[in-house]
Chains A and B, each alone.
Chain A
Amino acid sequence: MNESRNTCGQACALTVLAPIRERRESALTHRLSTLEPGLASPLANVTGTHFARWVVIGDVVYEGTSQRRPDHLKAGRLLFTSNFDGPLAPYLEQLRTGLGEVADEVWGHCAGYPGSADARAFAAYMRSHQVESSLFFAAYGGRTAEEVKQSLATRRQVIEFAVRSQQLAPAELQAQFRETFGA
């Protein structure tokens, strides 16, 4: 695995394809559908995650006659992708501890999954099911998720200040700036 391929700035891409155990696909799909959405998602507890997703892939798609040999997966796959703050090793540990029992509730439906109790086994499973990116693009690869959130909040604060302080005399402007931005 050439981790540099999965990197853009300090941002990294993780792609994991795990085989789904026989007849467990609908239980898995159901569990995924009941995960809390939005910022209450269990993935919100995985520090360093910008965007992540789970996708159940029942089978590959057939393109029709130009593809003379159709394909079928022997087992469905659970795709997990994450765009996160690297490097990979600490992130895999954050994934394990951040998800906690949800990791087992999801990957427990996958063949060979060792559970989240053993950090080394968990990381080894993810790595052995990892696919390398050929091209990874990040629009702001130099920024961690926390930095992004912080600067978004700062920008909002600046906008609010800029709009409401337009009429102020210099002394008042300065005083309010100091108060708002702790300068």
Chain B
Amino acid sequence: MANIEGRATAITVITPIKRGGPLVLWLVFWAGRNIKRTLEKLEKLSFIHFARWAVIKQFPDEQGGERLNHPYLLFESNFNGAWEQYIDAFSEVVAFRMKAIWGTSFGFPGPLPVEPFKAYIRHNEFVANHYFSAYPGATTTEIVSAERVEGALEELRGSAGLDAEAFRAAYAAFLTKVQGDL
């Protein structure tokens, strides 16, 4: 299934934007870029590696760009877990933001209840023809944890030259510190 690479799942959605939509999106995305709280929730959901939204005002081509009747909203994401569970969590936690973003697209039924939202995403989804992940076995939280473990290990290395008893204590402190990341 081309949307899945190991534990990573791809989702690509393209939807037509209503009149006045681009201005609303400009504000929403500005808030997203500049207000920390907005992206914190995405972080806490802890299964998104990378995600992007882009507004396609015209589709690039060799004649200076093809402008359709409407601009289009592209959503591209890489995350862990089946996308039905992903959409559920989005609906449940960031409903307001989902409405703010996709409310500007035609046909959007609202983020809740979740079944019509899922149907809308399915209707507008494009399956990847080829999907690549540099680390397909890894989940987002593992990657974030790995960075912390690596840092703490570096510190512990500094104690490797101490006497055995002191090292044992330093090692125990190390484990205590990173146990939530192992």
B92-114 Cβ-contact flags toward A at 8 Å (1 or 0): 00000000000001110000000
Which B residues are in CB contact (< 8 Å) with A138? Answer: 49-50
| Interface of chain A: mostly helix, strand, loop or mixed | mixed
Taking the complex as formed, is A44 at the interface, i.e. its CB lies under 8 A from any CB of chain B? yes
Q: Which of B12, B33, B146 contacts A53 (CB 8 A)?
A: B12
- Interface residues of B, CB < 8 Å — how many? 77
Out of B55, B106, B153, B164, which one reaches A174, CB within 8 Å? B164
The bracket for how many chain A residues form the interface is 35 or more
Q: Give the dominant DSSP class at B's interface.
A: mixed
CB distance from B136 to the nearest CB of A (A): 7
26 contacts between A and B (CB under 8 A): A15-B52, A32-B129, A50-B133, A51-B49, A51-B131, A54-B128, A54-B130, A55-B126, A61-B16, A61-B124, A62-B16, A67-B16, A71-B16, A75-B66, A83-B50, A128-B60, A131-B54, A133-B53, A133-B54, A134-B26, A134-B54, A137-B51, A137-B52, A154-B146, A158-B149, A162-B175
Top 7 nearest A-B pairs (CB, nearest first) are A63-B107, A183-B160, A151-B146, A32-B129, A63-B106, A43-B132, A170-B164
